[in-house]
Structure 1
Amino acid sequence: MNNMEQSFTTIQEARQWASLFLKEHQREPGVADWLLEHHLNMSYTQLMAYGRDPFPHEKKDSFVADIYKHTETGIPVQHLIGEAEFYGRRFDVNADVLVPRPETEELVEGVLRFIEKNGLTSEYLKVVDLGTGSGAIACTLSLELEHMDVYATDISSQALGTATHNAHQLGAKVNFYQGDFLAPVAGEAIDIIVSNPPYISHAELKELSDTVVQFDPHLALFADAEGLAAYHTIVSQIKSYHLTPMLIACEIGHLQGESVKEIIETGLPGYHAEVRSDINGKPRMVFAYSKTSVKSPDY
């Protein structure tokens, strides 16, 4: 893959070449569209509408270079373009944070539905996002329900720098703190806890793609105790800080549902935990709430 000269002359030809090249090298062909939209500053609709237009000569080398780079290394396309979309907004991303995933939007949606179902849309609530990373969850909750007081914590100062930048860019009011999950906000009476914590066991390292292993921050991926350490820590902190949140909402690995449910219900006897499936039918979320005071966050 050392020949940078390609024969395409139009936008459509560039799309066809890149898609086929990616597919031949076992990469996702759709990456071609993402990179075309980025380099040409076009929407997908514009790519289709202006496909017969000449491909700008001055942008050809950089586009081809990104296609080669992704193919050779597996670097996430979001790292190449420097941003990712989450809940209809664009977040800056880099090697210090996980790329926000569409499935995590369903965790946010579950929290919003819980608030609506329990008649809390106009209430003053304190919400904390644990392990905030890019700040996608915290910023989204802050912007969707402006009356909430949103906190976000992360053990990584680099991740917090990215999250703070995203909050500033989006106009989200989030209070960021560095530390281990709930430790930095131990004195606050938290109403809702939401987290997409590290949940991959170290034993699963060999099964992961090169994109994940080489480019995602391992601090945000892996956890001890077969991937369950973070949930043990969060529940332990809730107990030791005498917190009584209305809702605890966590993303989980697709095989961890019953284990996380047991960790919560055993550690916090007053709570009922429900395992929820994502849009792909995989159990990827746990919502835990008081058995007596609130309603389930049904979809």
Structure 2
Amino acid sequence: MGETIQEVLSRASLFLQQHNREPKIAEYLLCHHLQYTKTDLLLNLRTDLTANIINQFEQDLVVHVQTGKPIQYMVGLEQFYNRTFKVNEHVLIPRPETEELVQHVLAMTKDMSRPLKLLDVGTGSGAIAITLKLEQPSLTVEAGDISVSALAVARENADRLGAEVSFCQSDFLQYWLQQGEQVDWIVSNPPYIPWTEKKQLADTVRDFEPELALFANDAGLAAYQQIIAQSTKVLAPGGYLAFEIGYQQGQSVKQLLKQAFPACHVRIIQDINGKDRIILAKC
């Protein structure tokens, strides 16, 4: 008799734990190999696995443990807002904190009295822009990224998920400045980790996710400085800015917003872990 899903998962979780890796990765990876949802996995814990599946699964675990390569890059997929997005080494792996940013933007745009135009700056995999369009179809959504490789991933995700989003290459808001366009919302999860913190990051992030999307100069504030300065010409009067931020950057980003938009109303919102994570500004 072969081993059951439960037995294989138990052994894999212990293996990961012993090597200081996240034990829950075992479930994620096994779901991929079996083409199961998490529910499928839980309903079939007593099902026997073939030797071939076990071997492939354990080989991937060893690669992850030895190199730190994120499982999401190994399988090429990640979940965001209950949808499956393609990811690779050219884009950040979408995270739950960013889902919270999307939730707040959706809550504030659902009752607007007219069609709104929204811009996602530094779109990466397209997770923010695509999710906002699919959840709020009345929004006109545009998205930009400086990375051509990231844009290729975002376009593929939009096509696969059926989201009508316009993508273009742009260094932050440069394209929209040149076009003389104005938008009602600017949303961004920009690079915000100070370079001085690079050595402290987990190897799964530091050695694999794109530096362009992770790190910023000026104590991690450089991207906010540029986006906010450019937004003074791109954001329509009475428009909104929404950022994901590092948990120690709330007051600094608020100050940048107040300098650019003296009359703006700024809210700093904490994430599910009680850390400052989102800034919403009505300008």
* TM-score normalized with structure 2 length: 0.95
1:42 to partner: Cα distance: 1.8
2:108 paired residue number: 114
Q: Report the count of equivalent residues.
A: 281
The percent of aligned pairs where both chains have the same amino acid is 47
Which residue, 125, 134, 154 being the options, matches 2:145?
Answer: 154
1:296 paired residue number: none
Gaps spanning 5+ residues in structure 2: where? none
1:9 to partner: Cα distance: 2.1
Distance 1:180-1:244 versus aligned 2 partners, 3 A rule: farther
Distance 2:59 2:237 in 1: 52
1:265, 1:271 within 8 Å by CA — same for their partners in 2? yes
2:15 paired residue number: 21
1:240 to partner: Cα distance: 4.4
1:166 paired residue number: 157
Distance 1:227 1:112 in 2: 27
Distance 1:191 1:243 in 2: 5
Distance 1:240 1:31 in 2: 44
**Does 2:242 align with 1:249?**
yes
1:181 paired residue number: 172
**What is the identity, as a one-letter code, of the residue corresponding to 1:260?**
V
**Does 2:123 align with 1:129?**
no
* TM-score normalized with structure 1 length: 0.90
SS of equivalent residue, structure 1 residue 123: coil
2:2, 2:48 within 8 Å by CA — same for their partners in 1? no
SS of equivalent residue, structure 1 residue 191: strand
RMSD of aligned C-alpha atoms?
1.5
Q: Which structure has more strand as a fraction of its residues?
A: 2
1:114 to partner: Cα distance: 1.2
2:184 paired residue number: 191
Matched ranges for 1:206-221 at <5 A = 206-221=199-214
SS of equivalent residue, structure 2 residue 183: coil
Gaps spanning 5+ residues in structure 1: where? 1-6, 291-299
Distance 1:164 1:144 in 2: 18
1:198, 1:221 within 8 Å by CA — same for their partners in 2? yes
**What is the identity, as a one-letter code, of the residue corresponding to 2:122?**
G
**What is the identity, as a one-letter code, of the residue corresponding to 1:154?**
D
1:295 paired residue number: none
Which residue, 222, 238, 249 being the options, matches 2:231?
Answer: 238
1:138, 1:174 within 8 Å by CA — same for their partners in 2? yes
Distance 1:272 1:75 in 2: 41
SS of equivalent residue, structure 2 residue 269: strand
